[in-house]
Chains A and B, each alone.
Chain A
Amino acid sequence: MTEAPHTVKSYEEELKNLNSNIIKMGGFCEEALGKAIQAITTRNSDNAESVIQEDEKIDKIETMIEQQVVNLIALRQPMAIDLRESVTALKISSDLERIGDLAKNISKRTLLLNENLPKNLVDALIRVSTNVQKQLKAVLDAYLERSSAVAIKVWESDEQIDDLTNLCMNEVISYLKDNEKNLEDGTHLLFVTKNIERIGDHTTNVAEQVYFLVTGEYLEGDRPKGTEPIVTGEK
């Protein structure tokens, strides 16, 4: 449905503003995730530092979005699509804020790593994170274009991320087993891998919100799941 503009222009402006803040926040998260992955795979401390510092920007914009939504509900009493815009903005911003935090956590751990990582481990990290980055970009595009079809696609491919996470976990476990010296770095890498997977989950949450925003319906059924997560590394 293509809506006509609101008769009250200031209301129209407020909703547009909310929308562009979500897009802006999504952009910050994409950047943070990209930099965090680059930092850990290339041992680039500057990038890691920058992700940690810039997280405040994401937190601030989340607070701003929350205030905007509260004002809209209190002062405009939004209905139908406007209500869905307001409610989903609140939920999406909270998922994006978590994505920012997880990227920051990856960067903090990056700064604590002692050794250069073996190539197979770097490759596994890049495989899963590239996928997650693609999903994040796709879901933000879905939000921008109000595309329920793209939202469904993102939602369905969470499974792939789960599988790649498990492969990456396996690599980390092998790395841990290789040498006792790897214990500290390996532990950080387990968390890093889990963080990337969690970012994938938040991306899927956003996809659910975009679907609701566009259609007014909830995505039904269980979220597609990949192979069971590895707990011990023993098959």
Chain B
Amino acid sequence: MNKIEAKNVNVFYGEKQALFDINMDIQEKQVTALIGPSGCGKSTFLRCLNRMNDVIDICKVEGEIKINDYNINQKGTDVVRLREKIGMVFQKPNPFPKTLYENISYGPEIHGMAQSKDELDQIVEDSLKKAALWNEVKDRLNEPGTGLSGGQQQRLCIARAISVKPEVILMDEPCSALDPIATAQIEELIDELKKEHTIVIVTHSMSQAARVSQQTGFFHLGKLIEVGSTDKIFKNPDQLQTQDYITGRFG
């Protein structure tokens, strides 16, 4: 089932067009990987999905992006609510300069998701457990989040993202600053999270896209060249450009 449907999406940074007529369906409770060389528009597309491009003054987004059949680009859309439903994890772990506990509790609190301290405690514990971090930090919830290792910080950011129960999680190169062990932990987490969430991940690692995703889209020069099952894209893509890119033949 389609969770997200992008139709004729065009994005401009001032005069420069960054995305050209992107049409892409994203399946519910699956991992979709967006790949392509630097500057191809994959992160721009990712940021369209929760209107993060709104914060860039010169950026203009055209076209339709429907999530649960609702066009998020239509007037009157509450972007705060939208970003509650569509969480995001960035390349560099960016915990708040607060305690571990507060990093997680902040979202549920401002969205009024907990009626009592006990409920909030429960959300914090559940989120940290889902992010496979609970056992490592349960005894030091009052220490600053910035004191964790890089991999732990990234899992903390994932825990923070899932604490508000988003339907979709967007990940922009979430492992590029992590070592292979921390990367494997995040990948295992992605596998778990897809049972309840739809995940879209931008990655420069071909093998990561192949390992974690079920659907892959290849972007080049602002165009979506090919999208299909990950299996097909990495074994026998339809487009020569896709094959040249994934096999390291890109000139």
Contact = CB atoms under 8 A, between A and B. Distances in A.
A6 B243 contact: no
Interface residues of B, number: 17
B235 to A, nearest CB: 6
B250 A80 contact: no
Nearest to B249: A4
B206 A79 contact: yes
Contacts of B249: 3-7
Nearest to A78: B247
Interface string B193-217: 0000000000000110010000000
Interface residues of A, number: 20
Q: Is the interface of A mostly helix, strand, loop or mixed?
A: loop
A83 B235 contact: yes
A217 B249 CA distance: 22
Contacts of B243: 1, 3, 80-81
A37 to B, nearest CB: 38
Contacts of A80: 234-237, 242-243, 246-247
Most A Cβ at <10 Å: residue of B237, B242, B246, B247: B247
Contacts of B210: 79
Given A4-B251, A216-B235, A79 B240 contact: no
Helix, strand, loop or mixed for chain B's interface?
helix
Nearest to A77: B207
Interface in A1-17: 1-8, 11
A77 B248 CA distance: 11
A1 B240 CA distance: 7
A167 B114 CA distance: 85
Nearest to B243: A80
B136 interface: no
Contact of B236 (A77, A78, A216): A216
Nearest to A7: B248
B250 A79 contact: no
Nearest to A217: B236
A49 interface: no
B244 A79 contact: no
Interface string B177-198: 0000000000000000000000
A216 B243 CA distance: 12
A141 interface: no
A3 B237 CA distance: 12
Contacts of B247: 3, 6, 78-82
Interface string B223-251: 00000000000111100101110111111
A80 B250 CA distance: 14
Of B234, B240, B248, most A-chain CB atoms within 10 Å: B248
A224 B140 CA distance: 70
Contacts of A82: 247
Nearest to B242: A80
Nearest to A215: B236
Interface in A200-219: 215-217
Contacts of A77: 206-207
B225 to A, nearest CB: 14
A12 to B, nearest CB: 9
A5 B236 CA distance: 18
Given A83-B235, A216-B235, A3 B240 contact: yes
Contacts of A216: 235-236
A217 B237 CA distance: 11
Contacts of A4: 244, 249-251
Nearest to A2: B240
A2 B234 CA distance: 17
Contacts of B251: 4, 7
23 contacts: A2-B240, A3-B249, A4-B249, A4-B250, A4-B251, A5-B249, A6-B247, A7-B248, A7-B251, A79-B210, A79-B246, A79-B247, A80-B236, A80-B243, A81-B243, A82-B247, A83-B234, A83-B235, A84-B235, A215-B236, A216-B235, A216-B236, A217-B236
Given A5-B249, A79-B210, A216-B235, 9 more contacts: A4-B244, A6-B249, A7-B250, A79-B206, A79-B246, A80-B242, A81-B247, A83-B235, A84-B236
